[in-house]
């Protein structure tokens, strides 16, 4: 490994050092038992959670705190499902009032079919939440200008999508992801769109600081097996990035010596 | 029926000294009739919810955990009781 080149300086977001570059969601699992097993297999330290009404009739499952210990995992409340700045602020504050931490995964959706983010509303919400003392990790599309503005707004991390939420299409624009990573100082975590382990690996090979996924694990036939694969893929992609890949060429270059061949027949 | 009257709760309105038996509130979007004189903490107990596991918003204001015991449930209150669920 070329230790003169890229070095891993640890995964620091805001004032906190994280052990795993893989962040996972907790939605869409078939059972809570499977969710916990998959999260443990993924090695993730940070897991996202959503804020929703308590089911007063108890026909549905209990809250996730009955299954995930905040001492074992760093629970990151999100603002999923919010379409306006006002809603995002409300959900962020409800999440903080639960008393776990003052972090939020901010997302403000702008379009239902694609779940693509509303950049203007996201930026507006980020400014308010930072002023209110939140540590904001902002979900955004793969747009450099928005990413720069979210960093300027004081977000502790900027989280561009690989492709739409839940699509499993992988990184549709690796160049934009690389450019965002090159230009930002705060950590860049690719959030949404990873479908399988190769997507996670390719994502990390772009040099980003981390990757966040939910559906790719939860909707796999074997979520625990996929979680393990994602853990390895994220590590492999990070290692490959740090190792520095060979130059790609559209021509073959032999790997064995051209000299020393025996007399041709 | 237990009526919880914590410190800081307002006295019932009306001069007879007999509080109304019930108050109408909107709880998580549903109209409900609950015992008069309950605090928010008392309401959570009746709903068999652990106060440490939920967050309550009353008339669009988030209640600090420490305030639920002293906050009355009053006629017309709009309460949202939320918690963390699975999400990405």
pLDDT in tens, chain A (265 residues): 444 457 777 899 999 999 999 999 999 999 999 999 999 999 999 999 999 999 988 755 678 999 999 999 999 999 999 999 999 999 999 999 998 999 999 999 999 999 999 999 999 999 999 999 999 999 999 999 999 999 999 999 999 999 999 999 999 999 999 999 999 999 999 999 999 999 999 999 999 999 999 999 999 999 999 999 999 999 999 999 999 999 999 999 999 999 999 999 9
A95 contacts B64? CB cut-off 8 A: no
Q: A245 in contact with B at a CB cutoff of 8 Å?
A: no
| CA atoms of B18 and B15, how far apart (whole Å) | 8
Size of chain B, expressed as the number of residues it contains: 88
Q: Is residue B13 part of a domain?
A: no
A77 contacts B30? CB cut-off 8 A: no
C-beta separation of A197 from A229 below 8 A: yes
Distance from CA of B16 to the nearest CA of A (A): 34
Task: Please determine, for residue B5, whether its predicted confidence score (pLDDT) is greater than 80.
Answer: no
Task: Please determine, for residue B46, whether its predicted confidence score (pLDDT) is greater than 60.
Answer: yes
Distance from CA of B63 to the nearest CA of A (A): 8
Task: Please determine, for residue B4, whether its predicted confidence score (pLDDT) is greater than 70.
Answer: no
Quick one: pLDDT at residue A17? 95
Q: Stretch B32-60: mean pLDDT, rounded? A: 94
Q: Is residue B6 part of a domain?
A: no
B82 contacts A51? CB cut-off 8 A: yes
CB within 8 A of A60, min separation 6: which ones?
none
Catalytic residue numbers of A, as ranges: 105
Chain A residues with CB under 8 Å of B47 CB are 54, 56
Size of chain A, expressed as the number of residues it contains: 265
Quick one: pLDDT at residue A142? 96
Quick one: pLDDT at residue B3? 42
Quick one: pLDDT at residue A69? 94
Chain B residues with CB under 8 Å of A90 CB are 57
What's the CATH code of the domain at B28? 3.10.20.30
Quick one: pLDDT at residue B1? 40
* CATH superfamily membership of A17-52+64-243: Aldolase class I (3.20.20.70)
Both tokens of B86, joined, read 């699975």
| CA atoms of A52 and B53, how far apart (whole Å) | 12
How deeply is A217 buried, as exposed, middle or buried, from its count of CB atoms within 10 A (0-12, 13-18, 19+)? buried
Task: Please determine, for residue B20, whether its predicted confidence score (pLDDT) is greater than 90.
Answer: no
Domain encompassing residue B47: 22-82
Q: Is residue B43 part of a domain?
A: yes
Distance from CA of A2 to the nearest CA of B (A): 36
| CA atoms of A127 and A167, how far apart (whole Å) | 29
| CA atoms of B81 and B74, how far apart (whole Å) | 16
A50 contacts B84? CB cut-off 8 A: yes
Q: Which residue would you say has higher pLDDT here, A230 or B11?
A: A230
- If one counts the domains in chain B, the total is 1
Assembly ipTM:
0.89
Chain B residues with CB under 8 Å of A75 CB are 84
Please measure the distance between the N-terminal and C-terminal CA atoms of chain A and give it in whole angstroms.
42
Question: Taking CA A162 as the corner, what is the angle to CA A242 and CA A35, rounded to the nearest 5 degrees?
Answer: 90
Both tokens of A77, joined, read 């409340």
Quick one: pLDDT at residue A111? 96
Q: A183 in contact with B at a CB cutoff of 8 Å?
A: no
Please measure the distance between the N-terminal and C-terminal CA atoms of chain B and give it in whole angstroms.
42
Per-domain residue ranges for chain A?
Answer: 17-52+64-243
A99 contacts B81? CB cut-off 8 A: no
Q: Is residue B51 part of a domain?
A: yes
Task: Please determine, for residue B9, whether its predicted confidence score (pLDDT) is greater than 60.
Answer: no
Alpha helices in chain A (DSSP H): 32-42, 85-97, 119-131, 144-152, 174-183, 197-205, 215-218, 223-243
C-beta separation of B73 from B40 below 8 A: yes
Single pTM value for the model: 0.89
Q: Is residue B38 part of a domain?
A: yes
Task: Please determine, for residue B32, whether its predicted confidence score (pLDDT) is greater than 70.
Answer: yes
Q: Which of residues 218-237 of A touch B (CB under 8 A)?
A: none
B27 contacts A25? CB cut-off 8 A: no
Residue B7 DSSP symbol: T
C-beta separation of A238 from A204 below 8 A: yes
Chain A residues with CB under 8 Å of B80 CB are 53, 94
């Amino acid at each position: 490994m070329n230790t003169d080149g890229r070095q891993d300086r640890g995964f620091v977001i805001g004032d906190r050092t994280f052990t795993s570059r893989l962040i996972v969601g907790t939605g869409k699992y078939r059972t809570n038992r499977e969710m916990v097993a998959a999260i443990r297999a993924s090695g993730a330290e940070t897991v996202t959670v959503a804020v929703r009404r308590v089911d007063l009739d108890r026909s549905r499952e209990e809250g996730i705190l009955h299954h995930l210990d905040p001492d074992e995992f760093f629970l990151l409340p999100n603002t999923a499902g919010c379409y306006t700045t006002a809603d995002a602020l409300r959900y962020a504050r409800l999440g903080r009032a639960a008393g776990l931490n003052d972090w939020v995964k901010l997302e403000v959706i702008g379009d239902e079919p694609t779940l693509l983010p509303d950049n203007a509303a996201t930026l507006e919400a980020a400014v308010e939440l930072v002023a209110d003392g939140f540590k904001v990790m902002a979900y955004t599309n793969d747009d450099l200008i928005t990413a720069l503005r979210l960093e300027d707004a004081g977000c502790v991390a900027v989280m561009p999508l690989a492709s739409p939420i839940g699509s499993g299409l992988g990184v549709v624009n690796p160049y934009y992801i690389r450019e965002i990573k090159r230009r930002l100082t705060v950590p860049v975590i690719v959030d949404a769109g990873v479908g399988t382990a190769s997507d996670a690996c390719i994502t990390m090979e772009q040099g980003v600081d981390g990757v966040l996924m939910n559906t790719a694990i939860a909707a796999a036939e074997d979520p625990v097996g996929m979680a393990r694969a994602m853990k390895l893929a994220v590590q492999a992609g990070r290692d490959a990035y740090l190792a520095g890949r060979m130059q790609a060429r559209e021509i073959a270059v032999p790997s064995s010596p051209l000299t020393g061949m025996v007399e041709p027949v | 029926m237990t009526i919880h009257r914590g410190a800081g709760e307002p006295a019932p309105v009306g001069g007879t000294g007999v509080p109304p038996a019930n108050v109408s509130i909107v709880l998580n979007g549903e109209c409900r009739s609950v015992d008069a004189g309950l605090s928010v903490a008392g309401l959570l107990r009746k709903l068999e919810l652990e106060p440490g596991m939920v967050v309550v918003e009353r008339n669009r204001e988030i209640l600090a955990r420490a305030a639920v015991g002293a906050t009355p449930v009053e006629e017309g209150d709009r309460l949202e009781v939320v918690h963390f669920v699975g999400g990405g």
